[in-house]
Structure 1
């Protein structure tokens, strides 16, 4: 048909502008549709082109009919003019003839316009077809180029890492030199001055390292922090992280089977997950590590010795420094741990009974499945207890995954009654599609001592290719109830944290942008915490720390709901991933069946269609934790109600559900 190529080309442009463009917009807004053309989209495109061709045929047929019937009508009117008829009828015939003439003129104009359009379309149709084909070829070429660049990037990275001069611990090279150099008063650089930006907005400051104590004896009375001697008052902070790690009565394992080399196309699975809650997406174990989220939560206690030291602090602001270092230390295990932990089954528990070597006991329980939420309680024989309920909210946005832990962490020291509360920062996994995966922490957290009202503002500085800041940088300021700053914190969340005592503070001169920072004059920095080195061959054992290697070690006497007894997780640790995937699907279907049974008890006449209604009518009640109103945060959270360790002593687990 004349000009059909034009109409087909125009239909393609129309379809892409209306359908494809809207699809890309939905992807950006969090919809879980695919960004590439699916078989269904291609079928719809062919169907649309076929309909447009049929309509073009109809238009051409109507064109011919209008011309044919218009000519016949004109001939009939001419024949009527030649007949002898009464004058009255002649007037009416004249009016009809005039209207027919107007119709003929209009029809001829429309026919001429259609003919001109079809001729013009025919002339340009090949040009448009060539342009469309060129764009399609360019798109395919671009996809191939991106894939090739990704391969070259990985190849160059491997070649660079295997080349001479690459340090054994690459992450360390990023942090060296980014902290205050002096570690004690005998350093040769005690009198050097170092400036660095640490915080933004209202908490922005600059630190200046001042002279040693000997040079400041006469100026002690002028210090804004009083006359307390740095060397005697802060002896608890000295060597806080240098805790001997000797042998214990119970021999713990030091390795697990090496991770198998299974290849998997990440994008083929993740492209269908854009904008969706990750906890609702069934994922193969290939993306996991052989630990559950409950065990990962327990890993926060790896540097518990910081809290054991904090028990002996006589000053609440000194204690705050150690608490802040402890809060940062929990992120040190995440720098290489890109794989996600197993989502716990509802009612799953994990205990850490390490009174002999670590001096503490810990219990976690999965109290909700949608949204995934875990309650945690730990107490130490050294005089502190910690509890939290963490709900994981996560979103996949195409290039990165954001993981937002929701909930407050409570820490209480029995002797002093100091009660600290803080929240976790946001974790982001980058380079989901192209390049090597890497994780970053960002955001501000505030640690509050609700007894003394001391506060610590901690900032996790997000990494940027265009920033001059050190990677994984963390800064902070410890202030008392009056708002007076006592300590400056600096370091990185994957290596170490230091504190510097403030001896004087003053405002700086305004910068070019009009902002003014506080200048803190400090004594040399003291080391608070340093990360333990990873075990040998850690890269083949999911980059587990020494503590992480022991968490899934089989142990007798635990509850039947303990994560160590989860079959799919055990199969994955042993390297049998195919069986682990089969077992994981069985457990998830068993959990869905249990949930449907609980929802069947929904009250008559009450809708269970919404998530809120389902949650209320779920009917599940945790065994070891109960909901209470937190008087400090004014939030409802699950708190340990007791009974677990008594049941373990009696080995009475009759109340535990069969979840595995």
Structure 2
């Protein structure tokens, strides 16, 4: 096993989902929020043209006989990104494929495109930003670390987009992506490089990198970063995931801003999964309040209505509140996941911005994948001949794990890591720098910060001189 196998991606499923393929399969031209009108299992595209798989080739490998603590206790004081994890803790996707789960709810981008009012566009963008982290719920398996030069292509005509991503750096690990509407309606791009911290019982991923959404029709660009993500009980107990922190979405054209607070669960778990925030105009006047759960739904309501409702709630809570019992005792047991209240109390007069759909009934046997995630590593007939040899679908270790051959997956993973190390040593001997293929380091035109920008040309399908990384 490679001691340079980054553990960072165990908690960075950037980024998306809890919704079923049904909602995400909505026709991008219709851009509707009503999930009830969609297909209910995601195996058929909304336009009826193509079937996609609804199962993985083999069920999830049991992790019951493995302990993360047996790994971590040997690495106290070492850089967390250098910790080697057994393949049993992986899921059969590359981190590049997991990034593509941002796009599950592309219909929200098209909804934003269709709105004539900038505040309503911001509401749709805010819903899209929240939906992008929803697939992390219960996804405690870590994706495979992309090899340097690895790529992933995802084209979905039914949803009106195509995406290309590339692993542009190994140390630090940086993944860049670029997605675009098929009719030129939007550009969505960014680079992801999370920073990890180990807190004894949990692993926290600090988001790094800027996400940018451009809507050419409205001459607008929005930027934001993801919330913090924490995996609890990495030593003992059942793994569970928490999102927290403030996400600010800025419309660089209008000056409008959306501030979303992903709330930590708190001592009694009352805030688990909750998101609360507001949209303000350029004069900093609050135009609407946004609330809900990133695992369930997001609503918008008038600020005055919200404040009135909150005052009434506080009065009602004060009447029935009992004295809190102090319990600050230290313990080494698991951090039990708070009991989840599955419904959001909807304030009268609210507007639904986004709602998730149930995952497939067999999701727990499929790494808690959504319908969208189940399709990401599918190698459809004819694909192997047109994909570049760097595409994730062609990785032998991921393919072996997907079909349930864990021994072969482990051997292939180790072989690929050895091959990557040898290539790095050869470049060092020749004093050669790695050259990225589809992205280059530049400046984000909206934030002024350093960013990896798509150079174009991938979809012309001219895949000459692909590096031999597998």
Measured against the shorter chain, the TM-score band is 0.7 to 0.9
Query: How far did residue 392 of structure 1 move?
Result: 2.1
Query: How far did residue 347 of structure 1 move?
Result: 0.3
1:593 paired to 2:422: yes
Partner of 1:6: none
- Is residue 365–residue 374 contact of structure 1 (8 Å, CA) maintained in 2? yes
Query: How far did residue 465 of structure 1 move?
Result: 3.0
1:242-253 aligned at under 5 Å gives the runs 244-245=38-39, 246=46, 248-253=48-53
Instruction: Identify which of 346, 352, 362 aligns with 2:148.
Output: 346
1:492 paired to 2:293: yes
Instruction: Identify which of 520, 544, 552 aligns with 2:369.
Output: 544
Query: How far did residue 324 of structure 1 move?
Result: 0.6
- Is residue 453–residue 480 contact of structure 1 (8 Å, CA) maintained in 2? yes
Q: What CA distance in whole angstroms lies between the structure 1 residues aligned with 2:200 and 2:352?
A: 39
Partner of 2:169: 368
Q: What CA distance in whole angstroms lies between the structure 2 residues aligned with 1:503 and 1:316?
A: 20
Query: How far did residue 643 of structure 1 move?
Result: 0.9
Partner of 2:319: none
- Is residue 375–residue 638 contact of structure 1 (8 Å, CA) maintained in 2? yes
TM-score using structure 1 length: 0.57
Q: Cα RMSD over matched residues?
A: 2.4
Query: How far did residue 488 of structure 1 move?
Result: 0.6
1:41-120 aligned at under 5 Å gives the runs none
Partner of 2:438: 624
1:640 paired to 2:454: yes
User: Secondary structure of the equivalent of 1:632?
Assistant: coil
Q: What CA distance in whole angstroms lies between the structure 2 residues aligned with 1:243 and 1:390?
A: 34
CA displacement, residues 578-609 of structure 1 (integer Å, 9 cap, x when unaligned): 1111111110011011111122234xxxxxxx
Q: What CA distance in whole angstroms lies between the structure 1 residues aligned with 2:290 and 2:31?
A: 13
Partner of 1:74: none
1:198-347 aligned at under 5 Å gives the runs 239=33, 244-245=38-39, 246=46, 248-256=48-56, 257-262=58-63, 263-347=65-149
User: Secondary structure of the equivalent of 2:218?
Assistant: coil
Q: What CA distance in whole angstroms lies between the structure 1 residues aligned with 2:274 and 2:307?
A: 24
CA displacement, residues 111-170 of structure 1 (integer Å, 9 cap, x when unaligned): xxxxxxxxxxxxxxxxxxxxxxxxxxxxxxxxxxxxxxxxxxxxxxxxxxxxxxxxxxxx
The number of residue pairs the alignment matches comes to: 395
Would you identify which runs of 4 or more consecutive aligned residues in structure 1 move more than 6 Å? 504-509
TM-score using structure 2 length: 0.80
Partner of 2:406: 577
Instruction: Identify which of 302, 310, 313 aligns with 1:501.
Output: 302
Unaligned runs of 5+ in 2: 1-17, 20-29, 40-45, 315-346
- Cα distance change, pair 353–363 in 1 and its aligned pair in 2 (3 A): same
CA displacement, residues 207-243 of structure 1 (integer Å, 9 cap, x when unaligned): xxxxxxxxxxxxxxxxxxxxxxxxxxxxx99846556
User: Secondary structure of the equivalent of 2:409?
Assistant: helix
Larger Rg: 1
Unaligned runs of 5+ in 1: 1-170, 173-235, 512-521, 603-617
CA displacement, residues 375-433 of structure 1 (integer Å, 9 cap, x when unaligned): 10000135111000111222223210011220100001111011100001110001111
Q: What CA distance in whole angstroms lies between the structure 2 residues aligned with 1:646 and 1:562?
A: 16
1:527 paired to 2:352: yes
Partner of 2:393: 564
User: Secondary structure of the equivalent of 2:111?
Assistant: helix
- Is residue 67–residue 235 contact of structure 2 (8 Å, CA) maintained in 1? no
Partner of 1:477: 278
- Is residue 502–residue 523 contact of structure 1 (8 Å, CA) maintained in 2? no
Q: What CA distance in whole angstroms lies between the structure 2 residues aligned with 1:506 and 1:327?
A: 24
- Is residue 440–residue 472 contact of structure 1 (8 Å, CA) maintained in 2? yes
Query: How far did residue 275 of structure 1 move?
Result: 4.7
Asked which structure has the greater RCO (Cα within 8 Å, sep 6+), the reply is 2
